[in-house]
Structure 1
Amino acid sequence: MILLEVKNVSKKFGDKWVLKNISFTLNEGESLGILGKSGAGKSVLLHMLRGMDGYEPTEGSIIYHVSYCDKCKYVDVPSKEICKKCGSKMKKIEVNFWEDEKYSHILKKKIAIMLQRTFALYGEKTVLENILEALHNAGYEGEEAIKRAIELIKMVKLEHRITHIARDLSGGEKQRVVLARQIAKEPFIFLADEPTGTLDPQTAKLVHESLKKLVINNNISLVLTSHWPEVIAELTERAIWLEKGEIIAEGSSEEIVKKFLEQVKKLEKPEVEVEIKEDIIRLKNISKHYCSVERGVIKAVDNVTLNIREMEIFGLVGKSGAGKTTLAKIIAGVLTPSKGEYWFRVGDEWVDMTKPGLLGRGRAKRYIGILFQEYALYPHRTVLQNLTEAIGLELPDEFARMKAIHVLTSVGFSEEEAEELLDKYPNELSVGERHRVALAQVLIKEPRVVILDEPTGTMDPITRNIVAESILKSRIELEQTYVIVSHDMDFVLNVCDRAGLMRNGKLVAVDKPDKIVKLLTEEEKEEMLKHE
């Protein structure tokens, strides 16, 4: 039976059409994948199906076909005739989702959604409390709620995290709590927008298994977007391919994924030969230790010695928890080491980064830029404002535009594209465009070294190559040194000159990326390497 109809839907933001004449149906219990590169309109479409503010169709309509209980207001799939909650006979209704306020408000409570980067949890509450809260909202009480919470916790494999506070969980653990909370709603449809976009392959696999158990195996209709085409092939039966807001192909997921992957071009590296210069960073016997009541002394970074050269792109790789992020924060001057030496070269002088103050690390920190995985542009400021006044860069208007265009072209935009971007707002940009603008925001401050934390988090293969090319190009154009923290070994192989492999806080090897791959354990390969 048809559950959802999308009829001739178009969406306009400002003067830009982001969806154009979209039409498809989704049957009860069916799984649909939405594939397309960044900026194709995938997330906009999912937000529209959920009824999120500001995402109403400019043209066309969203129609849900459901069964509805007049007595207790319970909503179920159209094939259900008897209400699960009160036993009354249900009626079949057709809801024009963005027009019928009476029913759309009720339907929203029964539409589950998982969003990329947004975990929507009560940060100070435990895993159990978060899930019980969702169950209470769904009408479960007492022993029934406890029993159902236990079932959900087992299904998402979080028995070992029941009493942990939500904000202290890893990204993968948070996403599994979100999944359990959404299933607690007893939804008639499940929307998943890049649910594992920021996770390493091994953790993503756990979330995918949970999605299969809780959504697909329970015959809940699924609409899924992912930047990993193979995930679309694995988790959905049918797929549509969006390109610039239009459906350009529709068919079996296997067939659509195959066509999409044919469009992924090989990474184009600059032909200019790069001259790697002298050391700019020197670490000697650097350690960072923490004390924990439960675990005693934790050696997050343990006796690391490392030199990084100017104009080099250096990768810090390792499994989750290996210590690479902590080491990167020490290099950035955000964390002070527990012991060891750290010297950073400014001009011809070496600055002791273990010493505080303007003559110590304060002198060098202004020359170190960081782009975190959770970067955020100011949503109510234009690209030009994000690149200048929003970060305290005060320049006369013409100079500001000139500098902004220069740095945007250095990360891969043409001059014409850069000009057009300056007056746009972040929500008018694709994921890949936003990432490059965020990188430009770091580069415009003229750092000597830029640290990138998981730069390929939520990107489709095409956008990953665009970002890789922007890093390689800006290294040449701006004489930039990069430190890339990543569990994406494929990306490191494409971009980095050398890489350092970390295990349990120790730097176990430094070599060319293809040599580092040969040193990976089977467990490391499973988490870090998607294509051997």
Structure 2
Amino acid sequence: MSFIRLENVTKTFDGVEILKNLNITIEEGSVLGILGRSGSGKSVLINMLRGMKDYRPTKGRIIYNVAVCPQCLRVEPPSMVGNLCQCGVTFEAHEIDFWNTDRKHFAAIKRRISIMLQRTFALYEDDTVIDNVIKSITGRDEEESTYMAIDLLDMAQMTHRITHIARDLSGGEKQRVVLARQIAKEPMLFLADEPTGTLDPQTAELIHQALIEGVKEKGTTMVITSHWPEVMRQLSDHVIWLEKGEIVEEGNPETVVQSFLDQVPLPEKKTEFKTGGPIIKMEGVKKHYYSIDRGVVKAVDGIDLVIDEGEIFGVVGLSGAGKTTLSRILYGLTDPSGGQIMVKLGDNWIDMTEKGIFGRGRVKPYLGILHQEYSLYPHRNVLGNLTEAISLELPAEFAKMKALYVLNAVGFDEEYAEKIITKYPDELSGGERHRVALAQVLIKEPNIVILDEPTGTMDPMTRVQVTDSIRKARDELKQTFVIISHDMDFVLDVCDRAALMRGGKILKTGLPADIVEDLTPSEKKKMLKEE
């Protein structure tokens, strides 16, 4: 049954058409997949369906065919027409022009839509996990709400954290609680915008299974966007491939996905690079802390590591292995519980455990880091984010030239880089913001660059471009890269050597291909997309 229709929908921002004359029909109970590169218009379409401010179509209409209770204005999918509402009145059929209806009907539809975003953890940070889910449940008594919350957390495989405070969860755990909260609202439409874009394969698989069990198998209509083909294959009934706001192809998921993959280039062949002597030395590095629930937690547990100058070195492992903690210790954001971290600056070795201008303060200007939870300055445009916002004071014309150069290095073609340089972060897609954040790190030309999950929100084509740009930066600027990642395919493509991390320890160091051989079959399945 036809549920939602997009008729000739166009959306323009600052004179640029982001969506172009889209005509789409979404059937009740189906899962529509929107596949496309970062910046193709996927997130704009999701926000438009949700009724988010500033996303009104410039042209065209979005029609919701729904069942509406004339008494309490509750809205349900069209199959509920003729059934009784909770208030006892019969649902009536309505065809509602979503963006041109009255405020009451607009709000009534919005209340029945749940949305899951790629990086926004909309949780009550000071509440427990179960309380976060209970607060999303309406129309049930306390006991029913509690049991429903437990069932949803079990589905999301979060029962082991049920009494934990939300702010203490990892990013992947927070995303699973968000999913449980959104399903708890029992929506008529579930929108998922890159819900697993920043997660490791293991956690992403948990989210996918929960979406199948909690949304798809319950017959809830869903629209999911992704640049990952396997997400489309696993979840969608019908796929639309968007490119620069236009539908390139639509139809069977397998057919459309294959067409999309056929236009993704392979990265340039990796050539041997002669590295210098050691630039980073770690000996016996530890980070232990105490948790009321778990006692002593050994996030990093006695690590010895040497990284050479000019090397692209990967630290790989699944979520919770201790990779991010290790990167924060190296950068000087987290003090170790023990051990020594030495970084070479010129001819001198600097102790990164020593605070102040003669210790790590001396090295900091020569280090760059891209956090997994990066952020851009919202009130500065892209050029401002790449220059004044990070205290990079350059003559105006030279600043623009350098900004365009580094944007090109992270995958934007010259014409598109010129267009986005005056845009603000909220006008960019998630993947575009990620690349600008990477450019923000590279533009200062640091000696050592630490990248924490650099491919999280990137589509396959952009990943290839970023792989090539990291090698180019290393070759031209003699930079050393430390890449923290769960994406073994990316590490195989870009890294000279890698270390496998598990449970706070480094188990093996060697060539990336050697690390793969040391993984168990189940680990290969979780960390390699081809397995």
TM bucket (normalised to shorter chain) is over 0.9
- Counterpart contact for 1:432–1:467, Cα < 8 Å: no
Q: Which residue of 1 is the match for residue 86 of structure 2?
A: 85
Alpha-carbon spacing, 1:42–1:99, altered in 2? closer, same or farther (3 Å): same
Q: 1:523 to 1:395 in 2, by over 3 A?
A: same
Describe the shift of the 1:5–1:410 C-alpha distance in structure 2 as closer, same or farther (beyond 3 A). closer
Q: Match of 1:211, as an amino acid?
A: L
Contact 2:31 2:237 survives alignment (8 Å): yes
Shift of 1:502: 1.2
- Contact persistence 2:270–2:493 (CA under 8 A): no
Match of 2:136, SS state, is: helix
Residues 142-166 of structure 1: CA deviation (Å, up to 9, x unaligned): 3333343333333333322221112
User: Which position in structure 2 is the counterpart of 1:319?
Assistant: 318
Please give the per-residue CA displacement for 1:81-115, whole angstroms capped at 9, x wherever unaligned. Answer: 22341232111111111111231111000011111
Check conservation: 1:410, 1:478, Cα contact below 8 A: no
Instruction: Check conservation: 1:134, 1:184, Cα contact below 8 A.
Output: yes
Look up the match of 1:12. 12
CA positional deviation for 1:268: 2.1
Q: How many residues align?
A: 529
Distance 2:239 2:466 in 1: 26
Shift of 1:269: 4.3
TM-score scaled by structure 2?
A: 0.95
What does 1:475-490 align with in structure 2 at a 5 Å threshold?
A: 475-490=474-489
- 1:27 and 1:221 in contact (8 A); partners too: yes
* Letter in structure 1 aligned against 2:448: V
Contact 2:34 2:240 (8 Å CA) reproduced? yes
Percent sequence identity is 58
- The alpha-carbon deviation at position 494 of structure 1 amounts to 0.3
3-state SS of the aligned residue for 1:476? helix
Name the residue aligned to 1:141: 141
Pairwise mapping of residues 247-286 of structure 1 onto structure 2 (< 5 A)? 247-269=247-269, 274-286=273-285
Structure 1: stretches of 5+ with no match in the other structure? none
Structure 2 residue identity aligned to 1:87: G
Instruction: Return the offset for 1:16.
Output: 1.0
* CA distance 1:437–1:153, shift in 2 (3 Å): closer
Answer yes or no: is 1:163 the counterpart of 2:158. no
Say whether residues 1:107 and 2:109 are aligned partners. yes
Check 1:394–1:238 CA distance in 2 against 1; reply closer, same or farther (3 A cut): same
The letter of the residue matching 1:172 is: G
Matched residue type, 1:454: E
Equivalent position of 1:212 in the other structure? 212
In the TM superposition, residue 175 of structure 1 has moved relative to its aligned partner by: 2.2
In structure 2, how many angstroms separate the alpha carbons of the residues matched to 1:152 and 1:441?
39
> CA deviation digits over 1:50-99, x for unaligned, max 9?
00111110000111011011122221111112234123211111111111
Q: Give the TM-score normalised by the residue count of structure 1.
A: 0.95
| Code of the aligned partner of 1:85 | Q
- Could you tell me which residue of structure 2 aligns to residue 390 of structure 1? 389
Question: 1:38 and 1:418, CA in 2 relative to 1: closer, same or farther beyond 3 A?
Answer: closer
- The Cα shift of 1:479 comes to 1.9
Q: Secondary structure of 1:351's partner?
A: strand
Seen in structure 2, the aligned counterparts of structure 1 residues 31 and 303 have a Cα distance that, compared at 3 Å, is: same
Whole-angstrom distance in 1 between the partners of 2:147 and 2:404? 58
Partners of 1:375 and 1:486 in 2: how far apart?
A: 15
Q: Secondary structure at the match of 2:373?
A: coil
The whole-number CA distance in structure 2 between the counterparts of 1:413 and 1:223 is 27
Quick one: which amino acid aligns to residue 197 of structure 2?
A: G
Secondary structure of residue in 1 paired with 2:483:
strand
Local SS of the residue matching 1:195: coil
Letter in 2 for 1:439: L
Q: 1:292 to 1:146 in 2, by over 3 A?
A: closer
- What CA distance in whole angstroms lies between the structure 1 residues aligned with 2:507 and 2:110? 51
State the alpha-carbon separation in 2 of the partners of residues 407 and 176 from structure 1. Answer: 35
Aligned residues of 2:409 and 2:466 also touching (Cα < 8 A): no
Q: Counterpart of 1:70?
A: 70
Q: Deviations over 1:185-242 (max 9, x none)?
A: 2211111111111111111111111111111111111111122211111111111111
| Residue 518 of structure 2 corresponds to residue 516 of structure 1 | no
**Contact persistence 1:411–1:473 (CA under 8 A):** no
1:132 to 2:134 alignment: yes
Q: How does 1:33-432 map to 2 (within 5 A)?
A: 33-80=33-80, 81-100=82-101, 101-135=103-137, 138-269=138-269, 274-413=273-412, 417-432=416-431
More displaced 10-residue stretch of structure 1: 236-245 or 500-509: 500-509
Q: Please tell me the residue identity of whatever aligns with 1:498.
A: R
Q: Which moved more, 1:464-473 or 1:155-164?
A: 155-164
> 2:63 is matched by which residue type in structure 1?
I
Structure 2, unaligned runs of 5 or more: none
Q: CA contact under 8 A between 2:240 and 2:250: conserved in structure 1? A: yes
Q: Kindly indicate whether the alpha-carbon contact (under 8 Å) linking 1:498 and 1:511 is maintained by their aligned counterparts in 2.
A: yes
Q: Distance in 1 between matches of 2:396 and 2:185?
A: 52
- Using the alignment, how far apart are the partners of 2:502 and 2:27 within structure 1? 47
